[in-house]
Amino acid sequence: MTLLDVQHLTKSFGGLVANKDISFVVAQGELLGIIGPNGAGKTTLFNSIAGAHPIDSGKVIFDGRDITALKSHQIARLGLTRTFQIYAASGDLTVKENVMVGCFMKTGSRSVAAALADRILQEFEIEHLARSLVGELPIAAQKRVVMATAMGTEPKLLLLDEVAAGLTPHEVDGIIATIRFIHKDLGVTVILIEHVMEMVMNVCHRVLVLDYGEKIAEGQPREVVKDPGVIKAYLGERYAREHTTGTPVRSEFPKP
């Protein structure tokens, strides 16, 4: 079953075309990765899908409904939620209070939101941090709080924007485990933007590649990384060579 259908989406800022005629579908239960160099239009695509930017042309269908003209809060209430590349949780709130912010998308009751937050904190195994101020936590823990807050909205589709950026290899492994939990155990369809290629290779069913605002490739991860256009635009010969020979490569920015 198709959950998201993006049809010929184009978005410009003045004379700059950030997304040009992009089309793709995401099936319910899928985990899609979006990769590409900085400035390729990945975050703009997320913003356009999630209603933060009105698009110039095209259409976005979510769960059988045309959401092209809806505002971001309306889209979130339908079950499409996104996180942001820049840390977006409030450091002045506790971890539980942050997660409750997401829960208020579904309820106006503080007691119900608190109960939902407690359940989510237990699911994410961060209940011991409930009273901690988010701004005082390590960045990896903050990112888990951001994802937990997003889950408070009870999403059908979760858009994750570079949740592994700035983390150590061990912390990346923890984020991968959290994404798998959200996807497999909680049954949420996921689209992620990521530069950490081992995350993309390990968790994604399919990969979409953007360059200069256009889709240049789409397919299974191990096929996409062999695509000459993707190698030239983003990955670089070194990554492609080492990946082909089976040598593990950990790189946040594959192409120097």
pLDDT value for 252: 46
Per residue in 122-156, pLDDT (tens digit) is: 999 999 999 999 989 998 999 999 999 999 999 99
The one-letter amino acid code at 176 reads I
Per residue in 177-205, pLDDT (tens digit) is: 999 999 999 999 999 999 988 889 889 99
Q: What CA–CA distance (Å, rounded) separates 72 from 28?
A: 21
Contacts of 128 (CB under 8 A, 6+ apart): none
Say how far residue 185 (Cα) sits from the centre of its chain.
17
- As given in the structure block, the two tokens for residue 99 are 């997660």
Q: What CA–CA distance (Å, rounded) separates 67 from 92?
A: 33
- As given in the structure block, the two tokens for residue 206 are 């399919």
Write down the domain spans for the chain: 1-79+157-167+190-256
Sign, Cα dihedral of 177, 143, 67, 97: positive
The one-letter amino acid code at 243 reads H
* Closest CA relative to residue 24, chosen from 39, 11, 7: 7
Q: What residue has token string 């579904």? A: 106
* Closest CA relative to residue 145, chosen from 167, 111, 175: 175
- As given in the structure block, the two tokens for residue 83 are 């996180």
Distances (CA, A) of 47 to 65, 77, 114, 167: 18, 16, 29, 24
pLDDT value for 241: 62
Q: What residue has token string 């011991």? A: 128
User: 7: which strand partners?
Assistant: 59
pLDDT band for 89, please (50, 70, 90 cuts): low
At the topology level, CATH places domain 1-79+157-167+190-256 in Rossmann fold (3.40.50)
Name the phi and psi angles at 104, rounded to 5: -65, -10
pLDDT band for 237, please (50, 70, 90 cuts): low
Per residue in 20-56, pLDDT (tens digit) is: 999 999 999 999 999 999 999 999 999 999 999 999 9
